[in-house]
Every structure is written in C-alpha cells, then in structure tokens.
Amino acid sequence: MEETTVKKKYVVSYNRETCTGALKCMGIHPELWKKDSDNKAVLRNGAQSSHDPKLFTRVIDENELKSYKESALICPVYAIDVLDFDTAKSVLNINPTKEKDKDNVPVIRAHYDSRKEWQMDPKGFFTVKIFPEEQMIRARYYGEDHALKFVIEGSNSEEIYNTIMREKLVSTFQHAAYVGNELMKAEIAMKKNLPYVQDDPLP
Ligand code: SF4
C-alpha cells in the first residue's frame, strides 16, 4: 500500500492596514503578491478574515513556507506573519524591537582610521570607472597577482555588486563594503552628470 505523507500546514497572515506599500514582498515573490489600486500588497489566493477585515490569510504547506517566510522577513513594517497551523504561533523566529523602545538601545559612535584598520583583501582589488556616454559602470577585477581577471559592467551598482558577490571576487566584509560604496558613488555621479574619481568624495 502506498504511504501518504501528511504535509505540515502553516497560515500566512497579512495585515493590509499595517502595509505601507513598499512592495518589497512583491519584488522578491511576485508569484505570491500583487498590488492593488492603493499600491498596497495583495496576498494572492488569500481570504479576508471574517472577524478582522484588515487581515487576509492563506493556508500553505511546507513546500511554500520558504517563499512566504522570505516575504515576511523582507517586509519593513512586519505586515506579514507566518504561523504554525496547529499552534497558531509565529514561525518567523524574530523579536522586532517596538518603536517606543528603539531609543533605549546602545549607540556606537562610528570611527575609522584607514592607516591602522585597512586590510588588503587577499582575493585582489577593483578599479571602478564610469562611461556616461554608454550609461555604463565598469569594475575591473585584479586578482592577487595583480593581473586583470574580469571586467564587470552594468548600468547600476546593485547589479554589479551582486555579480561580484555571486562570483565570489571579494573575501572580506571591509572590501565588500568598500566596493559597494564606490559603485554607488559611481552610479550617482553617472546619473547626475558629475565627475567620478575612485576614492575621492563626490563633488
Ligand atoms: S513588503 Fe510589507 S509593507 Fe511592503 S508591500 Fe509588502 S506587505 Fe506591504
């Protein structure tokens, strides 16, 4: 006899009143979310709660859990929750700080001394240049032997730094942050018709 496995169930709960319409959920999972005429999210195949009209819910199984959890975790205002069907407890495992408590967390004053704290990434380095006539930014990647290995080109910083990460061309947090910062400066300069010189502040 064939064995049937019962899939665990979860409830996606979406609060339309809390939603501010940033549409990040839809950005990563358009198959689960769409927007309405108020630019708020709509839970696809969701049903409006009869006892609380601002809530929309949908029962899902574990195959869909990952995508809904990602949608919930990217929502900046926690308008989405995913609950265990049996216990009605959230499975997001987060403990967001309430607005009223945010002033009570410790503040770390930022500082940086490049002479003492800068460290060479053993993976190599990048040069960044803009090509406004093509609306293109090009990042040249030099390996540890200082030989040019790749040119990564794109029209915005996000696609370039994500490509750099995907290709694993940086190996330290400091270098990743540096490259992201330079690429964003390059993108702003290109879009605002400003000169861009790597490592210099924007004019
Ligand atoms: S990410 Fe959150 S706030 Fe933004 S549209 Fe989706 S549910 Fe609404």
Ligand 1 center to 148 CA (angstroms): 42
pLDDT at position 22 is: 81
Distance from C-alpha of 172 to C-alpha of 150, rounded to nearest angstrom: 19
pLDDT at position 1 is: 58
**CA angle centred on 116, ends 113 and 119, rounded to 5°:** 105
Residue ranges per structural domain of the chain: 9-94, 114-191
Give the count of beta carbons closer than 10 Å to the beta carbon of residue 176.
16
Q: What is the pLDDT along the chain (203 residues), one digit of tens a residue?
A: 566 677 899 999 999 999 999 899 999 999 999 999 999 999 999 999 999 999 999 999 999 999 999 999 999 999 999 999 999 999 999 999 988 999 999 999 999 999 999 999 999 999 999 999 999 999 999 999 999 999 999 999 999 999 999 999 999 999 999 999 999 999 999 999 999 999 999 99
Ligand 1 center to 175 CA (angstroms): 32
Half-sphere exposure of 76 (CA within 13 A, CB side): 5
Ligand 1 center to 77 CA (angstroms): 7
* 75 Cβ closer than 6 Å to some ligand 1 atom: yes
Distance from C-alpha of 82 to C-alpha of 84, rounded to nearest angstrom: 7
CATH T-level topology, domain 9-94: Alpha-Beta Plaits (3.30.70)
Burial class (CB in 10 A: 0-12, 13-18, 19+), 131: exposed
Distance from C-alpha of 12 to C-alpha of 72, rounded to nearest angstrom: 9
Residues in the chain: 203
Ligand 1 center to 40 CA (angstroms): 7
* Residue 23 Cα: closest atom of ligand 1: 5
Distance from C-alpha of 160 to C-alpha of 36, rounded to nearest angstrom: 32
* Residue 71 Cα: closest atom of ligand 1: 1
* 79 Cβ closer than 6 Å to some ligand 1 atom: yes
Copy the structure tokens of residue 178. Answer: 């540096």
* Residue 14 Cα: closest atom of ligand 1: 7
Atom 2 of ligand 1: nearest residue by CA position: 75
Ligand 1 center to 203 CA (angstroms): 36
